[in-house]
């Protein structure tokens, strides 16, 4: 039974979080929910989200309820979310998102306290919809900006904890699909939702060949099922067909869904990604990630507090001092070379790989049951598979 709420607690009993659309932003916002729950387990947290990231939030230990917002329903969508939120009599809503639509949803909630970003950092007149604002601070990382909301509701411990993990059933399903795989996996995100943030498919193709031939890894191509992502994966596979035997070619897992994507990332020893939701999921799941940045600023939306040494930063020019900003610089992803990325992969091999338990997929399958039979694929030595300098092709 949950302990009774202490009379002296200042943390509100019913908290709403408005952070609705981008998968990466929602991932970066999870430490806010976990911090609230850590400080006040009796607080009920309602997260307002659009359909895209709902699967990420569903079942999360710090999220009690998800209210779906269907933006494309127009006025009817706003009316529906208004009615659902007012039924819940929220004490406070934290508007972590700075967009107009998020401000409007925050205002429609009817919560007596509607806390938003300060006017200087707000976008699209978002500040007009809130009646409290966090203090103005120099721009740092987006996740730091989210954590700035905690003191306003009496939460003083902002320790970062994502609370993210793949569910056991999905993990087992993904592993069984490739139960005979004897090499560590590397998740390769073929594209993000914005074309300006994507790396050239022909360079991704060359990278995948090197990951197989020089590092003994098996790439897994992940992403959605947009025309851009399908075309990129097709180009990568066309190149791989020319350069690699069938057993070494990348596994294609486009459109596998968020839960399966978490399982692929958990099983991977490395992730390579442009600025995208899966990149931030990898950080949350504590998987080293090589982040490719040109159009967006890694100090604003890069891997949070981890793996900075694996980032390829072509956003900042050589003659400027790096600083955080939300500025976009289209066209600069062209400056990211295959050599840049392989240099970060080599850094991963020498810095992170030695401490990782790099097992093949077969070693992570649950024990056999009468219903499911999994063939044995143990290595001759029975030892976890690991990279050494001698094992790489020179």
Would the pLDDT of 364 be above 90?
no
Radius of gyration of the chain (CA): 22
Number of other residues whose CB lies within 10 A of the CB of residue 393: 9
List the one residue out of 239, 163, 223 whose CA is nearest residue 23. 223
118 vs 355: CA distance, rounded Å: 42
Residues 6+ apart with CB under 8 A from 227: none
Per-residue model confidence (pLDDT) at position 358: 66
For 265, phi then psi, to 5°, come to -65, -45
The structure tokens listed for 374 are 């999994």
Per-residue model confidence (pLDDT) at position 388: 34
Please give the full DSSP string across 173-221, using - where no structure is assigned.
HHHHHTTT--S-EEEEE---SSGGGPPPHHHHHHHHHHHHHTT--EEEE
Would the pLDDT of 381 be above 60?
no
Per-residue model confidence (pLDDT) at position 37: 97
Q: Which domains does the chain have, with CATH numbers?
A: 14-153 (3.40.50.2000), 168-391 (3.40.50.2000)
361 vs 84: CA distance, rounded Å: 43
Against a cut of 0.85, is the pTM above it? Answer: yes
230 vs 224: CA distance, rounded Å: 8
pLDDT band at 95 (very low <50, low <70, confident <90, very high): very high
The structure tokens listed for 255 are 């459109």
342 vs 361: CA distance, rounded Å: 24
Would the pLDDT of 367 be above 70?
no
| DSSP character at residue 74 | T
Per-residue model confidence (pLDDT) at position 360: 58
Per-residue model confidence (pLDDT) at position 180: 74
């Amino acid at each position: 039974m949950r302990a009774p709420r202490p009379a002296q607690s200042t943390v509100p009993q019913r908290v709403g979080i408005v952070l609705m659309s981008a998968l990466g932003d929602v991932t970066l916002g999870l430490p806010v929910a976990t911090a609230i729950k850590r400080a006040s387990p009796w607080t009920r947290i309602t997260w307002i989200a659009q359909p895209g990231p709902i699967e990420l939030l569903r079942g999360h230990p710090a999220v009690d309820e998800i209210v779906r917002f269907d933006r494309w329903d127009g006025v009817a969508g706003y009316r529906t979310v208004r009615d659902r939120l007012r039924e819940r009599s929220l004490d406070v809503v934290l508007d972590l998102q700075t967009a107009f639509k998020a401000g409007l949803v925050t205002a429609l909630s009817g919560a007596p306290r509607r806390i938003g970003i300060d006017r200087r950092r707000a976008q699209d007149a978002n500040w007009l919809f809130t009646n409290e604002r966090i203090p103005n601070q120099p721009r740092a990382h987006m996740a730091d900006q989210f954590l700035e909301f905690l003191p306003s509701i009496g939460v003083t411990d902002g320790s970062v904890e994502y609370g993210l993990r793949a569910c056991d059933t999905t993990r087992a399903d993904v592993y069984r699909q490739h139960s005979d795989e004897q090499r560590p996996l590397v998740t390769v995100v073929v594209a993000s939702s914005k074309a300006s943030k994507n790396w050239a498919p022909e360079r991704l193709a060359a990278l995948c060949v090197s990951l197989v031939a020089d590092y003994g890894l098996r790439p897994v191509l992940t992403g959605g099922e947009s025309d851009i992502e399908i075309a990129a994966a097709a180009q990568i596979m066309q190149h791989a067909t020319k350069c690699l035997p069938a057993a070494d070619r990348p596994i294609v897992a486009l459109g596998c869904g968020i839960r399966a994507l978490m399982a692929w990332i958990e099983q991977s020893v490395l992730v390579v990604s442009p600025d995208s939701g899966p990149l931030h999921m990898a950080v949350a799941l504590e998987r080293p990630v090589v982040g490719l940045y040109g159009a967006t600023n890694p100090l604003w939306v890069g891997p949070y507090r981890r793996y900075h040494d694996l980032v390829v930063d072509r956003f900042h020019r050589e003659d400027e001092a790096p600083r955080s900003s939300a500025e976009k610089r289209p066209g600069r992803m062209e400056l990211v070379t295959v050599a840049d990325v392989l240099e970060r992969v080599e850094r991963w091999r020498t810095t992170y790989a030695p401490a990782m338990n790099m097992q093949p997929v077969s070693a992570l399958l649950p024990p056999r049951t009468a219903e499911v039979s999994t063939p044995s694929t143990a290595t001759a030595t029975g030892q976890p598979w690991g990279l050494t300098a001698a094992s790489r092709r020179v």
